[in-house]
A and B are shown apart, each in its own frame.
Chain A
Amino acid sequence: GNSVTQMEGPVTLSEEAFLTINCTYTATGYPSLFWYVQYPGEGLQLLLKATKADDKGSNKGFEATYRKETTSFHLEKGSVQVSDSAVYFCALGGGTSYGKLTFGQGTILTVHP
């Protein structure tokens, strides 16, 4: 079945540091890949997505590239801000699991001034 594995957190960075959160997946078919962000006490917001191999999703300075050869979708940001502190979830959907999202375990990011 489908699965998503994220790097374990928590991740603690200083403001303006470079961020990488690793995500790898296993899936059947050709899934779409997503990064969601969850702020404390809130639901999930879509951060970015990629629908096919070599696609790059980007939003708010974050980006991730759909790498089929390494089955990865690592999240990166060149300069993080305190307001980026949240939980980040990698997810896959579509393919043969049409309609369902499979989530990674989430990575807590804390950015200090």
Chain B
Amino acid sequence: GAVVSQHPSRVICKSGTSVKIECRSLDFQATTMFWYRQFPKKSLMLMATSNEGSKATYEQGVEKDKFLINHASLTLSTLTVTSAHPEDSSFYICSARDNSQGAINGYTFGSGTRLTVV
């Protein structure tokens, strides 16, 4: 089945530095990928929709200059947390939609990245 690889699974960084998280669709093409943030014991909050070859669409309240998204190919989207602060510590999860499956079947999630900013 469809597999999405997310890397790294865990990262600890110093406050003020930037961190890049990669999301790859391994065996399918994904024009659209989604980035979610999950707070402890909370649900997933959609941050942005990443579109291959164009600018990402950010949800209300999400700082686009803080969370940079690049979707340069049909199999890779990256989320860069710039100038990270402790309040950015969270679990980030990406999801990719298989172009060939459509919206009904195509949501596959990565295994998540635990970001800790110290």
Contact = CB atoms under 8 A, between A and B. Distances in A.
Interface of A: 32, 34, 36, 41-46, 49, 51, 89, 93-94, 98-106, 108
Interface of A is mostly: strand
Interface of B: 6, 32, 34, 41-44, 46, 49, 93, 95, 97, 103-105, 107-112, 114
Given A100-B34, A101-B34, A51 B43 contact: no
Given A99-B32, A104-B43, A106-B43, A43 B112 contact: yes
A43 B7 CA distance: 12
A11 to B, nearest CB: 14
Contacts of A102: 46
Contacts of A41: 112, 114
A2 B109 CA distance: 21
Contact of B93 (A43, A46, A51, A108): A43
Nearest to B94: A43
Contacts of A89: 43-44
A41 B112 CA distance: 8
Nearest to A105: B43
Q: Which 5 A-B pairs have the closest CB atoms?
A: A43-B111, A44-B109, A43-B112, A43-B109, A105-B43
Contact of B107 (A93, A104, A106): A93
A45 B109 CA distance: 7
